[in-house]
Amino acid sequence: MTATVSIASIEKSFGAARTLKGVSVDIAAGEFLTLVGPSGCGKSTLLRILAGLIPQDGGSIRIDGAPVDHLPPRARDVSMVFQSYALYPHMSVRENIATPLKVRRLSSAARWPLVGRMVPGQSAARAAIAESVNQVAAQVEIEALLDRRPAQLSGGQRQRVALARAMVRQPRVFLMDEPLSNLDARLRVHMRGELSELHRRLGATFIYVTHDQVEAMTMSSRVALMMDGEIIQVATPSDIYANPVDVRVARFIGSPEINLVDARADTNGQVSIAGKATGFRAETVGALTVGLRPEVLAIDDGSSEIVIDSRLQRIERLGHDVLLHMRHDAGGKKNMTLRVSAADLEKLQANGRLNENVAIGARAGSALLFGADGKRLPGLQGAAPTELMNFAMGRRAVGA
Ligand SMILES: Nc1ncnc2c1ncn2[C@@H]1O[C@H](COP(=O)(O)OP(=O)(O)OP(=O)(O)O)[C@@H](O)[C@H]1O
């Protein structure tokens, strides 16, 4: 059971505030699309509109080509999993999971606990519901918890119950609003893997909302980055990392954050950083920003094409990798982070350079350029091949 979802020009205002500014995105059947963006950008509002919980002011939603704008939530064939799980506290896990099916398959009289058993012709429906509940409970491994109440469960177990309740109707589309954010860090990492696996097994379309870029990057087929009521870029995780269309995307995706350095291109496009010519040309004139991911920077061994004088301030050991926190005076953000291997660190310490001036550098082909308006510019001319950048990106786990 799966479906395409087409979101076209969705508008929504709350009072004078325009929360969604004509949002459009087409989602393929079986895709795992994540809406990611900072708090307040409108992600949850869009998801609620998709679910039919609130009406949009303009634009249209189609599921498998058919407009659903006029349909109430129940008739849209979508299931939503909330951050709060929204379980019924007075019901057992079994009853919580069965509720969506009871609402759909049993007459209103038959839903009453005692009276219901006397309503003729409903026992087959009850047996089928019990069977469906057992099946989904097995899928998310909560069979042993079916007779407990939500208060008797851990956060992770509640999360599974909420998933099971969403799954039991076999919807074509799952909508998930920050479903992992109430879990501790370790469990969140575990559940990321489980959700990806569940998505693969079910083959349904998942639309997932999070403000956590690591969640977005690790689970999704594609990531839609939202800011201030607009989708700025929709791309695969590796593409949005390597080819951000906008400096805001470059900053939001990637951890540690991309380093941004002020630069200028003269009337011939010759680029200089901190007044020093780089020997490269950009297809622009005036102010620009050079973006350098932490892993494309290294201590300069004389071969770097872009060199920035910095001071090493702090060393943060992450195990295999090490982060070097530097300060520089080249303009832009004064702090710069390098991700190097532990072996590189050895070399650096041998030189006894902590708190001393260190030249750091990158290949010009690894730089991402952004114009004064924040939009991405073509790379530096005469730069090293972009394969170098792709190699550097591919070698590192995103957001690790
Ligand atoms: N019912 C409402 N009435 C008034 N304003 C609302 C309502 N719902 C949302 N908003 C506002 O719309 C904006 C977007 O909210 P939304 O919940 O969609 O953001 P979000 O991106 O999901 O953020 P978060 O990650 O914090 O949940 C916010 O400024 C919010 O205050």
pLDDT digit string (tens) for the chain, length 400 residues: 789 999 999 999 999 999 999 999 999 999 999 999 999 999 999 999 999 999 999 999 999 999 999 999 989 989 998 887 788 999 999 999 998 888 776 666 555 565 556 656 677 778 888 888 998 888 888 899 999 999 999 888 898 899 889 888 889 999 999 988 888 888 888 889 888 998 998 899 999 999 998 999 999 999 999 999 999 999 999 999 999 999 999 999 999 999 999 999 999 888 888 788 887 888 889 999 999 999 999 888 888 888 888 888 888 998 888 999 999 877 666 889 999 988 878 777 756 677 788 888 898 889 999 999 999 998 877 644 443 333 333 333 333 3
Query: Is the shortest distance between the CB of 40 and ligand 1 below 6 Å?
Result: yes
**Sequence ranges of the chain with CATH classification 2.40.50.100:** 245-395
Distance from residue 46's CA to the centre of ligand 1 (Å): 10
Angle at 208 between CA 206 and CA 210, to 5 degrees: 165
Query: Is the shortest distance between the CB of 41 and ligand 1 below 6 Å?
Result: yes
E strand or H helix at 305: none
Cβ contact 316:255 at 8 Å: no
**229-263 in b/e burial notation, b at 16+ Cβ within 10 A?**
bebbbbbebeebbbbbbbbbbbbbbbebbbbbbeb
Q: Regarding the domain with residue range 5-239, which homologous superfamily does it belong to in the CATH classification?
A: P-loop containing nucleotide triphosphate hydrolases (3.40.50.300)
- Site to probe by mutation for ligand 1, drawn from 10, 12, 14, 35 as the one with most ligand atoms within 8 Å of Cβ, is 14
What CATH fold (topology level) applies to the domain 245-395? OB fold (Dihydrolipoamide Acetyltransferase, E2P) (2.40.50)
Cβ contact 280:319 at 8 Å: no
**Sequence ranges of the chain with CATH classification 3.40.50.300:** 5-239
Decide: pTM greater than 0.90.
Answer: no
Atom of ligand 1 nearest to the CA of 41: 21
Distances from the Cα of 96 to the Cα of 93, 141, 169, 279, angstroms: 5, 16, 13, 66
Atom of ligand 1 nearest to the CA of 47: 18
Which residue, by CA, sits nearest to atom 4 of ligand 1? 14
Query: Is the shortest distance between the CB of 112 and ligand 1 below 6 Å?
Result: no
